[in-house]
Amino acid sequence: MTATFTGPASVCPDPGAGVEVTVHGGAGGTRATLEDLRRAADALRRTAEELASADRCVPAVIGVVDDARRWSPATAPAAEDACAALLSRRDGLGATATRARAAADALDRAADAYADADGRVAAALRAGVMTSAHAFGEAGPFAWGALGGVALLLAGRSVVSGLLSRVPTPLGMAHRGIGAATQSRNPAVRALAWAFGGGGRMPGVPDARGLERSVDPFAAWLLGALPGPSDVRPLIHGEGLGSAPTSRVAALLLGGSRLVAAAAGHQRGDLVVTPSLRRHPAPGPGTTATPDGRPRRAVMEDAVGGAASWGASGGAAGGASRGASDGASGAGSGAGSSAGPVTSAGAAPPSGAAASAGTWTAADIVARIADLYPDGSTHGALGDVEVTRVERPDGTVSWIAVTPGTSDWSLLPGSDPNDTTSSLELFTRGAALSPEDAAAARADATGTLVQALELAGVEPGEPVVVVGHSLGGLAAMDLASDPSLARFDVQAVITVGSPVAGIDIPDHVQALHVETSHDVVPVLDGRPNPDVPNRTTVTVDLTAGRFAGTPLDPVSAHSVDTYTDALGALGEVADPSVQHFEQQLSEILGGPDSTSTTSWYTGARVRDVAGGVR
C-alpha cells in the first residue's frame, strides 16, 4: 500500500509550508494489511470453535432447565425460550459459528486473491519487459540504431511541439488547442491531435521512480548486447541481491576492475580498523562532548600510520587497533577506547563541554552522518564509523552505529574501504553463503562496521541500531541480513539514499528507508523496496512544500544534508508506518533519561611496508 501524506514541517521557517511524502510498506502497508486480514480470519475461526463448543453444551442446559421446572415453574418458560433461541437455525450458536467460519474463509480468500493477482501481474509484466530488452540487446547495433533513431525523432517532435505551444503567436495558440485535444475522451480525437503535433512537452528533470522502471530493462539489454550466449530466464526470475540484472552488471564491472588491478600490479591492502581521535561535533540526545582541539587530518594520519607500522610487524587487526591507539597521543588502549570520547550526561561534564538530553529519533541519528564525510580538518576521512553506547534508565545497554557513503570513486581499491569496490561487492553479494564464505566475501565497508562494533565492546544480546547513507545503508543492511553476524542483535536499520530493495532482513528487524523523489542512487537496483510490515519506505517530494526550492540535480538530491532536512521534516507527518518505526526506535534506545557515550573508529586498507600486501 502506498499512501501520500502532507503535513506541516516542524523545522520549516515558513509555518505554512509542509512536506509531501509517499509512504510504502511498514505497519500500514499492503502486506501488513493482508496479514491483519489473516489474523482476523484466525480470530473468527477461534470464535467459531468456541461457539460450536457452546452449542454442544445447549442440550445439557435444556436438561437442567427441565429438571428445574418442578421447583421453579414460574421461571421455566423464560429459560426454555432462551434455550430455544440458542438452538435457532438462523440465529443460534451453531448457525453463528457456521457464519463465522464462512467469514474467516472469505477473508483468507480475499487476502490470497489480492496477493496472488498482484504477484501474477507484476511477474507477467516483468517477463515481457525483460525478454524484450534482452532480445533487443541480442539484435545487434543495426537494431539499436534503428530504434534509437525512432526514439530521437519522437523526443524531438515532443520538444518542438512543446516549444511552439509556448510561443505567443497564432501558431502557438493552435498548438495549445491541439494539445488540449489530446486530453479528449474520444480516442479518434486524441490520435488526430497527437498526429498534428499536440501533447508536446518541454524536457525536465525526471523523477527517480520513472528511472527505476528502466534500470532492470537497461541492464537486461546490456547483458544481451555482450558477446556470447546469454540466458534471459535468470533475469526474469532473479530476485534478491546478487541475482538481479543490475547485480550481474555490477559483477562484470567488479571483474573488470580486478583484471585492470592485476594487469597494473595494483594489490589490495588488508582492512585494519582503529580507534579514532577527532574534534567532536554537536552531540545527540543525552550526551556531552569534549573537543580535543586537534586537527582532524593530523589525527587521522597518526591513527593510520600507527596501524600501518603495527601491521608491518605482523600484528593482528585487533593488535593494530591497540597499537594505533597507543601511538596516537594518548588515544587510549583496548577495545572501545578513543581519545576525548563523548561522555554520559550523568557524568560531570568537563570544561567547555556541551550537554544535551532528549529521546533519540531517526532525525537525530541521521544528522550525525554528515560529519563522517571527508571535508577539510573537521570532518571524517577514510572509512569512519561512529558508535554510540546508550545506557537506558533500567541499566540495560543499546548501541547506535552510523556509517557514511562512498568517499572514494576510483575503480581500483585504495586505502579507503568506503569506495566503489565496496559498492560493487555489496551489489554482487550472494544471499546463500556459508559463514566462512560470507566472511571471505564481506565488503570492506561492512567489515569496517563489524570491527568498529567489536572494538566498541558490543556484547551479544545488546540491541543495535545501524544507520547509513548511500553505500553506508548497503553496509548496514548487509550487517543486519548476514546470519554469520548474528552475534550482533541488530533490531533496527535506517538507510538514506541507499539501493537496498534486494537485501532481505529478518522479520524482527525494523527498517526505515528514506529516499528523495529525484535521487537516482536508491533506484539503481531497479525495483521498489518490498512492501512488508517491518520495512517502511518514505519518499520525500523535492518539488513540493518546504523542499520546492531544492535543486533537482543528482548531487543535491542525494546529499546527506538534503536527507537530514527531510528526516527533520517527518515529525509532523501522521503516517502509521513512520510513527510505528519511531515508537520501536524509542523502545530500543530508551526515553529522555538515557545517557550515551560516543566514540569513532577509522577503517583503512593497509599494506605491509616491507613485504607488500599482507
> Across residues 40-64, what is the average pLDDT?
86
Weakest-pLDDT range from 33-37, 269-273, 547-551? 33-37
**Distance of alpha carbon 583 from alpha carbon 301, whole angstroms:** 41
Binning pLDDT at 50, 70 and 90, where does residue 477 land?
very high
Q: How many CB atoms lie within 10 A of CB 272?
A: 32
User: For residue 118, what pLDDT is reported?
Assistant: 65
Q: Is residue 288 in some structural domain?
A: no
Find out whether 529 and 554 touch, Cβ atoms under 8 Å. no
> Across residues 448-464, what is the average pLDDT?
94
- Residue 218 is classified by DSSP as H
DSSP-derived secondary structure for 83-128: HHHHT-TTTSHHHHHHHHHHHHHHHHHHHHHHHHHHHHHHHHHHHH
Domain boundary among the residues 112, 145, 177 is at: 112
Indicate whether 436 and 556 sit together in one domain. Answer: yes
Per the structure, the count of domains in the chain is 2
Q: How many CB atoms lie within 10 A of CB 64?
A: 11
pLDDT tens-digit series, residues 492-510: 999 999 999 989 999 999 9
Q: How many CB atoms lie within 10 A of CB 481?
A: 20
Domain boundary among the residues 61, 91, 112 is at: 112
User: For residue 154, what pLDDT is reported?
Assistant: 65
Which position has the higher pLDDT, 417 or 189?
Answer: 417
**Distance of alpha carbon 563 from alpha carbon 556, whole angstroms:** 10
Indicate whether 216 and 79 sit together in one domain. Answer: no
> Across residues 277-283, what is the average pLDDT?
54
- Whole domain around residue 439: which residue ranges? 207-224+245-279+351-609
Which single residue is written with the C-alpha cell 546469454?
Answer: 230
User: Does the structure show a pLDDT above 50 at 307?
Assistant: no
Sheet holding 354-356, edge to edge: 343-344, 287-289, 354-356
> Across residues 398-417, what is the average pLDDT?
90
**Distance of alpha carbon 339 from alpha carbon 382, whole angstroms:** 18
DSSP-derived secondary structure for 152-184: HHHHHHHHHHHHHHTSSSHHHHHHHHHHHHTT-
Cα dihedral 435→439→442→444 (10° resolution):
150
Indicate whether 103 and 251 sit together in one domain. Answer: no
Indicate whether 215 and 80 sit together in one domain. Answer: no
Q: Is residue 69 in some structural domain?
A: yes
Q: Is residue 170 in some structural domain?
A: no
Q: Is residue 23 in some structural domain?
A: no
DSSP collapsed to 3 states, 285-297: CCEEECCCCCCHH
Output Rg (C-alpha) for the chain, integer angstroms: 31
Count of alpha carbons within 13 angstroms of residue 301, beta-carbon side: 6
Binning pLDDT at 50, 70 and 90, where does residue 311 land?
very low
Indicate whether 252 and 103 sit together in one domain. Answer: no
Element (H, E) at 129: helix 93-139
Judge if pTM exceeds 0.85. no
Find out whether 465 and 399 touch, Cβ atoms under 8 Å. yes
CA distances from 432 to 399, 484, 504 (A): 28, 11, 11
Indicate whether 466 and 574 sit together in one domain. Answer: yes
Which position has the higher pLDDT, 515 or 430?
Answer: 515
Percent of the chain with pLDDT over 90: 18
Q: Is residue 229 in some structural domain?
A: no
pLDDT tens-digit series, residues 73-98: 877 788 777 777 777 777 788 888 88
User: For residue 432, what pLDDT is reported?
Assistant: 44
- Residue 331 burial (10 A CB sphere; 0-12, 13-18, 19+): buried
Element (H, E) at 252: helix 245-263
**How far does Cα 560 stand from its chain's mean position?**
15
> Across residues 572-580, what is the average pLDDT?
84
Q: Is residue 445 in some structural domain?
A: yes
Find out whether 10 and 39 touch, Cβ atoms under 8 Å. no
> 244 is written with which cell numbers?
538481479
**Distance of alpha carbon 83 from alpha carbon 80, whole angstroms:** 5
Residue 311: strand, helix, or coil: helix
**Distance of alpha carbon 421 from alpha carbon 428, whole angstroms:** 11
Which single residue is written with the C-alpha cell 555490477?
Answer: 250
Strands (E), 14-105: 18-25
User: Does the structure show a pLDDT above 80 at 238?
Assistant: no
User: For residues 163-199, b (16+ Cβ closer than 10 Å) or e, as one string?
Assistant: ebbeeeeeeeeebeebbebbeeeeeeebeebbeebbb
Which position has the higher pLDDT, 311 or 597?
Answer: 597
Find out whether 560 and 496 touch, Cβ atoms under 8 Å. yes
Find out whether 334 and 327 touch, Cβ atoms under 8 Å. no
Domain boundary among the residues 89, 112, 135 is at: 112
* Chain mean pLDDT for the chain: 74
Q: Is residue 252 in some structural domain?
A: yes
User: Does the structure show a pLDDT above 60 at 317?
Assistant: no
Contacts of 428-431 with CB under 8 Å at 24 or more apart are 428/241, 428/242, 428/247, 428/250, 428/251, 428/254, 429/241, 429/242, 429/478, 430/241, 430/242, 430/243, 431/240, 431/241, 431/242, 431/243, 431/481, 431/504
Which position has the higher pLDDT, 37 or 439?
Answer: 37
Indicate whether 88 and 214 sit together in one domain. Answer: no
Q: Is residue 566 in some structural domain?
A: yes
> Across residues 471-483, what is the average pLDDT?
94
Indicate whether 430 and 572 sit together in one domain. Answer: yes
